[in-house]
Amino acid sequence: MVMKDTTEIRKLLAPTGKLRASINIGNRVLARRDTPASDPYGVSIDIAWALAERLGVGVEFVVRDSAGQSVDAVANGKADVGFFAIDPKRGESIAFTGAYLLIEGWYAVKQDSPVHTVEQVDRPGMRVAVGLGSAYDLFLSRELKHAEIVRAPHPKAVTPLFVEQHLDVVAGVKQQLEMDMRCYPGLRLLPERFMVIRQAMGLARSRGDEADAYLSAFVEEIKANSFIEQALIRHDIQGATVAPPEA
């Protein structure tokens, strides 16, 4: 997409002279870092660098531990763009591009749990551990009518909370749950996902329609030219797929 004035777009997307990208290291499909002092890496990092190169600016990473914190950074002007699951609640302050990646939300339970299907989770007395402000927290807060939701402060704390408080079900991104299960033996995934999480880029609505259109066109381009696919391969991400083109 060729904009009328690249300089004006640069001012809208990177007003400080650098692209400040909000990075959620709580979702290992998108980004991670090996130590608190090390640089983050992953699919969202690669995308941020590609966008900054397109704009002709550097990158400043605003690293957060959870999706909710990452959304707040963009909504409050502490970052220019971010990488979020599309959700109507977040859409009140964030303008989303089309999805660039599809990942899955799953449940896990203890091996001896009587719960064997997704439908059995939403029953009176069931307690479900989730990450505060995560895509699946927002989704389950709308969808679950009978089960109680118990929130951990960030995704990495969800399974420990589930174990320590003897909860009934733990919800999360499949890859994170599978990693947690290596540390907490005796758990099993239910046989099917409970949601598909549509990951997109986003920026504050106050940046305007032209900035939104530019970012949306950028995302469609990097889907079409296999940039996302190659990033998934490069970072050895399993179980996530490139989203189809947006109309």
pLDDT at 156: 84
pLDDT at 241: 92
pLDDT at 26: 85
**pLDDT (tens digit, 0 to 9) for every residue of the chain, 247 residues total?**
444 467 889 999 999 999 999 999 988 889 999 888 889 999 999 999 999 999 999 999 999 988 889 999 999 999 999 999 999 989 999 999 999 999 899 999 999 999 999 999 999 999 999 999 888 998 999 999 999 999 999 888 999 999 999 999 999 989 889 989 999 999 999 999 999 999 999 999 999 999 999 999 999 999 999 999 999 999 988 778 999 999 7
pLDDT at 2: 43
Q: How far apart are CA 191 and CA 214, in angstroms?
A: 40
Polymer length in residues for the chain: 247
Q: How far apart are CA 51 and CA 19, in angstroms?
A: 8
Q: Regarding the domain delimited by 6-101+198-242, which CATH topology (the fold level of the hierarchy) does it fall under? A: D-Maltodextrin-Binding Protein; domain 2 (3.40.190)
Residues of the chain with CATH 3.40.190.10: 6-101+198-242, 102-195
Burial class of residue 189 in the structure, from the number of CB atoms within 10 Å of its CB (0-12 exposed, 13-18 middle, 19+ buried) = middle
| CATH number for region 102-195 | 3.40.190.10
Q: Which residues does 230 contact at the CB level (< 8 Å), separation at least 6? A: none
pLDDT at 5: 61
pLDDT at 247: 75
pLDDT at 6: 78
pLDDT at 22: 98
Long-range contacts for 28-32 (Cβ within 8 Å, ≥24 apart)?
Answer: 28/173, 28/175, 28/176, 28/179, 29/101, 29/103, 29/173, 29/175, 29/199, 29/237, 29/239, 29/240, 30/83, 30/101, 30/199, 31/83
